[in-house]
Amino acid sequence: MKKTVFFIVIIFSVLKIYSQESDSAVIRSIFREALSNKTSYKNLEYLCTKIGGRICGSPQAAAAVEWSKQVLQQMKLDTVYLQKVKVRHWDRGEKETASISSKIYGSKDVNICTLGESVGTPIAGITAEVIEVMNFDQLKKLGKKQLTGKIVFYNREMDPKDYSTFDAYESAVDQRFIGATEAAKYGAVGVVVRSMSLADDYIPHTGIMRYDTSGTNIPAVAISTKDADMLDEWLKDDYELLFHFKTNCKFFPETESYNVIGEIKGSQFPDEIIAVGGHLDSWDIGQGAHDDGVGTVQSIEVLRLFKELEIKPKHTIRAVLFMDEESAQRGGKKYAALARVKKEKHIAAIESDEGGFTPVGFSFDTSPDTLNMINKWKSLFLPYGIYNFEKGYSGVDIHYLKGLGFPCIGLSTDSQRYFDYHHSAADTFDKVNQREMQLGSAAMATLVYLLDKDAIK
């Protein structure tokens, strides 16, 4: 009996080692194919340079839907289809202008961009004195007496001491998101917000903002970090200086758009889904390369890698190219709502929306027990520099799937440069390194392979 038990233990140990070696060989082939094939990078180049910025409701967003559908169809997948989404349509109009006039320093043009979904200025623009604040508490203390008729200048920077650039962003972005609403309560006529960037340059960064529907809507713009520093310095010597800005944005009626979806059907469990995704829309002032053209082409690339390497998944592998992440997340909401209505069973969902930088790991929005089970695969990623498996946030679009009983996962990258480009004219194709991006594609495909092979249910 003891000998029998001994031999059983030996057999299982051998099988485990063989399985790990087999997995390592498949993973090695995934990374080699991703790093040596230029298809995904060429896809990104087309999306960025031929279509460009893809703000919701725009002709460019519609072109991106049609292009991505054709790319998926040409791959001869089992299924390619569109998921209709109603989206808002805000247009920036002609380029914004701004200048500062000081009795001490003279006049100087500065670099601004309108914040997403802001109202426009009057035709002549807005000219007013400036009050600088760092937070909403200062705003409240100043009150209507000092703020009525003024332009509020929010100058709280992203904290450079914070290693996590996403944490630094979260600590500062409230002034962009609701700064106009808060300033309007005290009679301000406009808002200028320091760009959400750690870079020291003349490039302004846009991003979504929201109004209180019961309040007054005032125009809001972002100013480059260098120009924000200059305005801060000038105000110290001349608190009566004037800031002038003119914007030309407006809303159009809501329009129809789409999530774009492609699938490889599972051989054993076709009704059980592992989803990978990124968002197809982007801001209009750049090419939407890191945010989130990369996530779009990486999701397509996961399917291409499975097809090219003839990996036959047991579960259905689905790429979802979400529309409207930047504005109202209607694509993510629609996908989650339909998943509930159809009672679709997902095994996992993975999102890439941290740019095309070197991947360092994954962030798992799941239970500690599930994360412990997933951690057994960590050693398979280590040869490729991917080491960080932690509990945390997954992604804006797949977040709406939370609560359906499966892990939602975000690809984590070395994001120290991400906010240099985020939501700005600098977010262009040439800023994406092919190898870094493809390491991310391979990491996603590897996690999908392991989830499919040893699904956590």
Residues with catalytic function: 325
Q: Which DSSP state fits 398?
A: G
For 320, the token pair is 């979802």
Rounded to 5°, the CA angle 399-212-393 comes to 15
C-alpha 182, offset from chain centre: 26
Q: Which DSSP state fits 58?
A: S
Report the half-sphere exposure of 269 (CA within 13 A, side-chain side): 17
Helix or strand (DSSP H, E) at 309: none
Does the CA dihedral 115-118-121-126 come out positive or negative?
A: negative
Do residues 348 and 339 make contact, with C-beta atoms less than 8 angstroms apart?
A: no
Neighbouring-strand partners of residue 205: 424
Do residues 377 and 434 make contact, with C-beta atoms less than 8 angstroms apart?
A: no
| Number of other residues whose CB lies within 10 A of the CB of residue 337 | 12
Q: Which DSSP state fits 285?
A: S
| Cα 249 to Cα 241: distance, rounded to the nearest angstrom | 26
Task: Dump strand ranges (E) for 74-194.
Answer: 79-91, 97-102, 106-109, 112-114, 126-133, 151-154, 190-194
Alpha helices in 309-357 (DSSP H): 330-341
CA end-to-end distance (rounded Å), the chain:
35
- Residue among 65, 44, 58 nearest 429 (CA): 44
For 208, the token pair is 């979504």
366: left (phi over 0), alpha (psi -120 to 50) or beta: beta
Neighbouring-strand partners of residue 91: 250
Neighbouring-strand partners of residue 152: 131, 191
Do residues 142 and 134 make contact, with C-beta atoms less than 8 angstroms apart?
A: no
Q: Is the N-terminal amide bond of 292 cis, ω within 30° of 0?
A: yes
215 phi and psi angles, rounded to 5 deg? -110, -170
